[in-house]
A and B are shown apart, each in its own frame.
Chain A
Amino acid sequence: MRGARELMATLANEMALVHRHGRHILLDGEPTAILWLGATAAVTLGNGSVCWIEDGAEPSACAVHAGAILSACRDPAGAGVVTGGDDGAVRRVLPDGGVEELGRFERGWVEHLVSSPASGLLVAGIGREAVVWTRGATEPSHRYAVGSTIGGLALDGKGKRLGIAHYNGATLVYASTPSSGRLALNWIGSQLACTLSPDGRYLITALQETGLHGWQLPELRDMRMSGYAAKTRSFSWDRRAKWLATSGDARAILWPFEGKTGPMGKAPLLLAERKGALVTRVAFHPRDDVLAVGYSDGTMLLVRPADDRTLLLDDGGAYITALAWSDDGARLGWGDEDGRIGILDMEARA
Chain B
Amino acid sequence: MTATDRIPVTVLTGYLGAGKTTLLNRILSENHGRKYAVIVNEFGEIGIDNDLIVDADEEVFEMNNGCICCTVRGDLIRIIEGLMKRKGAFDAIVIETTGLADPAPVAQTFFVDDDVRARASLDAIVTVVDARHVLARLEDSHEAEEQIAFADVILLNKTDLVSEQELEEVRQRVRSINGQARLHETRNCVVPLDEVLERGAFDLDRILEIEPNFLSEDDHEHDDAITSVSLKSDAALRPELFMPWLRQLTAEQGQNILRLKGVLAFWGEDQRYVVQGVHMLLDGDHQRDWRPEEPRTSRMVFIGRNLDPEALQRGFESCAVRAS
Among A68, A69, A111, chain B packs the most CB atoms within 10 A around the CB of A68
- Please tell me if B291 contacts chain A, counting CB pairs below 8 Å: no
Q: Given A149-B57, A190-B74, A32 and B115 touching (CB < 8 A)?
A: no
Among B72, B74, B77, chain A packs the most CB atoms within 10 A around the CB of B74
- Please tell me if B86 contacts chain A, counting CB pairs below 8 Å: yes
Q: Given A107-B42, A167-B74, A230-B114, A68 and B86 touching (CB < 8 A)?
A: yes
With CB as the reference atom, state the residue of chain A lying closest to B65. A209
List 15 extra interface pairs beyond A190-B61, A208-B64, CB under 8 A. A30-B87, A46-B85, A46-B87, A67-B52, A67-B86, A68-B86, A70-B82, A86-B86, A107-B42, A109-B79, A149-B75, A188-B62, A188-B64, A208-B72, A208-B77
Could you name 17 residue pairs across A and B whose Cβ atoms are closer than 8 Å?
Answer: A29-B87, A30-B87, A32-B85, A46-B87, A47-B87, A67-B52, A68-B85, A70-B82, A86-B54, A109-B82, A111-B82, A149-B75, A167-B61, A167-B74, A188-B62, A208-B74, A230-B114
Residues in chain B within 8 A of chain A (CB atoms)? 42, 52, 54-55, 57, 59, 61-65, 72, 74-75, 77-79, 82-83, 85-87, 113-115
In the bound complex, residues from chain B placing their C-beta under 8 Å from that of A30 are: 85, 87
A69 to B52, CA, bound (A): 15
In the bound complex, residues from chain A placing their C-beta under 8 Å from that of B52 are: 67
Among B62, B83, B86, chain A packs the most CB atoms within 10 A around the CB of B86
In the bound complex, residues from chain B placing their C-beta under 8 Å from that of A68 are: 82-83, 85-86
Q: How many residues of A contact B (CB 8 A)?
A: 26
A148 to B79, CA, bound (A): 15
In the bound complex, residues from chain B placing their C-beta under 8 Å from that of A109 are: 54, 78-79, 82
B74 to chain A, nearest CB (A): 5
- Please tell me if A127 contacts chain B, counting CB pairs below 8 Å: yes
The secondary-structure label for the interface of chain B is: mixed
Question: Which of B55, B72, B86 meets A47, CB within 8 Å?
Answer: B86
B118 to chain A, nearest CB (A): 10
Question: Which of B57, B77, B82, B114 meets A86, CB within 8 Å?
Answer: B82
A167 to B63, CA, bound (A): 11
A227 to chain B, nearest CB (A): 15
A127 to B78, CA, bound (A): 11
B78 touches A189 (CB 8 A): no
- Please tell me if A21 contacts chain B, counting CB pairs below 8 Å: no
A149 touches B86 (CB 8 A): no
Question: Which of B54, B63, B78, B113 meets A149, CB within 8 Å?
Answer: B78
A231 to B114, CA, bound (A): 9
A230 to B113, CA, bound (A): 10
Q: Given A111-B78, A231-B115, A46 and B59 touching (CB < 8 A)?
A: no
